[in-house]
Amino acid sequence: MFQYYPEVLAICENIIVVGDINIDLKIETNHKFIKYMESFRRTLINKLSKSSTHAKTQIDYCFNNVNDLKSDYFESLTSFHKPIWIRKHEIVTQFLVDENEHSRTDTPFNLEDLRIDDQFNMMEIDEESSFEGHEMIDGNEQIHKGYAF
């Protein structure tokens, strides 16, 4: 798996490993893979209480050595695997642009005024957000109109 790891580290030390690992880490005997990844200084950032497939297994993961990353799964209507999202959780700066001088200044927000509204594991789906070509069955389920079973 890490055949070219030393060469890659020479170019970039911040590496994120994401994908279908095909090992269910919810099973404790499989935790040796976590130790293996930690030997390359990669930390698992997914919670082991979630499912990444519709079969309720968790075989898709994100390992990294980058600070302040969050990762979780989107619900998927078209795939067996739930897509993984990753985001950097950082302080945002405000950009001030003077169009007359064509200059830009990065001004940090006043941290006392900063309100953190972290809803990274919340996903809201309602009837208005259903995809075209899908039909709502009830409040929790959509089906594709083109499929016949």
The confidence band for 32, taking pLDDT boundaries of 50, 70 and 90, is very high
* pTM of the model as a whole: 0.53
pLDDT score recorded for residue 1: 58
pLDDT score recorded for residue 35: 92
Which of 59, 62, 81, 64 shows the shortest CA–CA distance to 72?
62
- Beta strand 103-108 with 93-98 is antiparallel
pLDDT (tens digit per residue) in 61-117: 899 888 888 888 888 888 888 888 888 766 555 555 555 555 555 555 554 554 544
Say whether pLDDT at 50 is over 70.
Answer: yes
Identify which has the larger pLDDT, 9 or 14.
14
Measured distance CA(35)–CA(48) in Å, rounded: 15
Amino acid at 99: E
Measured distance CA(11)–CA(49) in Å, rounded: 34
The confidence band for 130, taking pLDDT boundaries of 50, 70 and 90, is very low
Which of 122, 124, 91 shows the shortest CA–CA distance to 107?
91
Kind and range of the H or E element at 9?
A: helix 5-11
Q: In this structure, which long-range contacts are made by residues 44-48, counting pairs with CB atoms below 8 Å and at least 24 apart in sequence? A: 45/69, 45/70, 45/71, 46/71, 46/72, 46/73, 46/84, 47/72
